[in-house]
Amino acid sequence: MSENIPALTSFTEDEQAFREAIRSFAEGEIKPIVGKMDEQAHYQEGLVQQLFEMGLMGIEVPEEFGGAGASFTMACIAVDEISRVDGAVGVMVDVQNTLVANAFLKHCTPAQKEKYLPQLATKKVGAYALSESSSGSDAFALKLRAEEKDDHYVLNGHKLWITNAGEAELFLCFANVNPDAGYKGITAFLVEKGFEGFNVGKKEDKLGIRASSTCELTFENCIVPKENVIGEVGKGYKIAIETLNEGRIGIGAQMIGVAAGAYEATLEYIKTREQFGKALSSNQGVQFQLAEMRMELEAARLMVYNAARLKDEGKDFIEEAAMAKLYSSLAAEKITSMAVDLFGGNGFTKEYPVEKFWRDAKIGQIYEGTSNMQRQTIAKMELAK
């Protein structure tokens, strides 16, 4: 087993082998270009194609549709290991698998699966378009409207902060077909990049995960065929809730990967960096900080994979997903901040990796449900017991 790969007793031999393969790919193909991608704020040409060739863009998609036919836990392992090197690449794999593919697998018709799953697994990036300027944490205050006309719907409005939008060709979009019905009018649509009236807008200039595209979407009399309705009309809110519950575990995997990358860089640094004639690691105060980082990482890791296991076993996992997402994002920010501290002045420069890990960690407390939304979910479920 490769050095520093976590040996949780719940990992099977196949999962450990998969983790080692992803780590080798991330170290060999992604790590050398992380700094350049972060500086230029886009993925290097050819990298996305490599992700498809590695089978990382359709991990749970059945083999009959060109996917790997693996588990949700496997998807989390991939996100974890890639994020250990670059959280920006990790989130692309995460959104593709834990949000878009998951929604398709659960809610698409057989004809829709036959048409779109092979594309999603082998060549086309997907994006999940829920957020708008006035509907972030209040996810169902949607203003994107869908008007029924003959054999199609006409969509008008905007989406904001859509991850993968710059590379995506398939967009799972949520719009309201009946505003008077409130959230019960929300419907999910599959919008292709080339649909008339649909455009991808500007890419946001972000603090962290800079290579990952986060863009605005505009719908100006966008024509969407009725056969591209995902699930039932007016039941899109259920699709959104179910998908986000799963996606939060994926973000947890991203956060533990980011935290692990920072921790491992710090461990190596304090062993070799000398101050006052001895290694930093010989200082008891530094050892205490290291121990705290390691403990936080392990606790977050166990929570994330526990939630993933529950999901794979078909058991209730909503509260565990909320706790995993909340705790892992807090732990990632704490661990990466401590890493910068322990690197001292070097940690504040781009010559060393920890400042990027710190920047990448912050988003974990914001997207796919803010930390306060996770606290609210946990509290509600506890009070209902």
Query: In this structure, what CATH number is given to the domain that contains residue 69?
Result: 1.10.540.10
pLDDT given at position 1: 38
Mean pLDDT of 98-112: 97
CA atoms within 13 A on the CB side of 380: 9
**237 phi, psi to nearest 5 deg:** -65, -35
Specify the pTM: 0.96
CA-only gyration radius of the chain, Å: 21
Mark whether 289 and 350 lie in a shared domain. Answer: yes
Per-residue confidence band for 10, with pLDDT thresholds at 50, 70 and 90:
confident
pLDDT > 50? residue 2: no
- Show the domain range for 82: 13-125
**Of 125, 155, 183, which residue constitutes the final position of a domain?**
125
Mark whether 30 and 156 lie in a shared domain. Answer: no
* Rounded (10°) angle between helices 354-361 and 318-343: 150
Start-to-end CA span in the chain (Å): 42
* pLDDT cut 90: percent of the chain above it: 93
Mark whether 187 and 118 lie in a shared domain. Answer: no
Mark whether 115 and 131 lie in a shared domain. Answer: no
**Residues 170, 224 contacting (CB under 8 angstroms):** no
pLDDT tens, 168-178? Answer: 999 999 999 99
Mark whether 372 and 259 lie in a shared domain. Answer: yes
Q: What is the dihedral of CA 312, 316, 320, 326, to 10 degrees?
A: 90
Which residue is associated with the tokens 């944490």?
137
H or E element that contains 194: none
The residues that are catalytic are 368
pLDDT > 90? residue 211: yes
Residue 80: inside a domain, yes or no? yes
Residue 282: inside a domain, yes or no? yes
Residue 6: inside a domain, yes or no? no
Q: How many structural domains does the chain have?
A: 3
Instruction: Provide the token pair at 55.
Output: 């089978």
pLDDT tens, 274-324? Answer: 889 999 999 999 999 999 999 999 999 999 999 999 999 999 999 999 999
Taking the C-alpha atoms of residue 315 and residue 310, their distance in angstroms, rounded to an integer, is 5
**Of 95, 125, 155, which residue constitutes the final position of a domain?**
125
Tell me the average pLDDT of the chain: 95
Mean pLDDT of 197-220: 97
Mark whether 94 and 139 lie in a shared domain. Answer: no
**Of 97, 125, 153, which residue constitutes the final position of a domain?**
125
pLDDT given at position 135: 86
* CATH number for the domain harbouring residue 218: 2.40.110.10
Query: Among 164, 159, 139, 157, which Cα is nearest to 214's?
Result: 164
Mean pLDDT of 346-356: 97
Taking the C-alpha atoms of residue 218 and residue 144, their distance in angstroms, rounded to an integer, is 9
pLDDT tens, 215-251? Answer: 999 999 999 999 999 999 999 999 999 999 999 999 9
